[in-house]
Chains A and B, each alone.
Chain A
Amino acid sequence: SQQGEEDPQALSIQEGENATMNCSYKTSINNLQWYRQNSGRGLVHLILIRSNEREKHSGRLRVTLDTSKKSSSLLITASRAADTASYFCATDAQSGGYQKVTFGTGTKLQVIP
């Protein structure tokens, strides 16, 4: 598996439900970020969690990080139709003397009104 691999690949839920997406990675990281991409658009930064943090909140988003398991989860509470998008995790780590950001393949979320 590649650095930054999300699961599930696709998720379909009803509006109002919670959506949970997971990300696993292989090497040690400095930070982990989650991005959203609406169809045909660029990526929008959602939240960053540092390697020494375990949980972070931002509005309806909750991110957890377990460095021992090399995994992170993104929880979107009380989902809305507008949350329909692809969600990517991105890890940055030292690579050859600089910070390299690597993206996963994404989870495609569909929120049904």
Chain B
Amino acid sequence: NAGVMQNPRHLVRRRGQEARLRCSPMKGHSHVYWYRQLPEEGLKFMVYLQKENIIDESGMPKERFSAEFPKEGPSILRIQQVVRGDSAAYFCASSSQGPEAFFGQGTRLTVV
């Protein structure tokens, strides 16, 4: 049973480009969380999704950011027209019914 898989591990984008971050939850998990971590800081909640539904996106910027978790395939965090301030590590976590969340290794986005 593979763990939470995130790809790519590292992503470099120029200002104005789009970034797509993928997260495949653990088998059997239908809950996905996305977090952002700036250097030397903690995790900031962005969005919580269940299959085909966004449950809570209160931590996600209203513009340029979107997330989905389709019935088939990975969850996608999409950042349009990236800016330097978007540079961070983005972590995905998945869970089943219980509270324990399993994390991926993260995607490190660098905007140049």
Q: Does B associate with A?
A: yes
| Total contacting residues, chain B, CB less than 8 A | 21
CB < 8 Å: which of B4, B33, B56 contacts A96? B56
Q: Which interface class (under 10, 10 to 19, 20 to 34, 35 or more) fits A? A: 20 to 34
Taking a contact as CB atoms under 8 Å apart, the answer to whether A104 and B33 are in contact is no
A25 at interface by CB-CB < 8 Å: no
For B105, the chain A residues whose CB sits under 8 A away are 41-42
Chain B interface, >50% SS class: strand
Task: Output the nearest chain B residue to A48 by Cβ-Cβ distance.
Answer: B100
Which of these binds chain A: B12-20, B42-50, B65-73, B79-87? B42-50
For A48, the chain B residues whose CB sits under 8 A away are 99-100
Closest chain B CB from A6 CB (angstroms) = 8
A72 at interface by CB-CB < 8 Å: no
Closest chain A CB from B59 CB (angstroms) = 10
Taken together as a complex, chains A and B put the C-alpha atoms of A90 and B45 apart, in Å, by 11
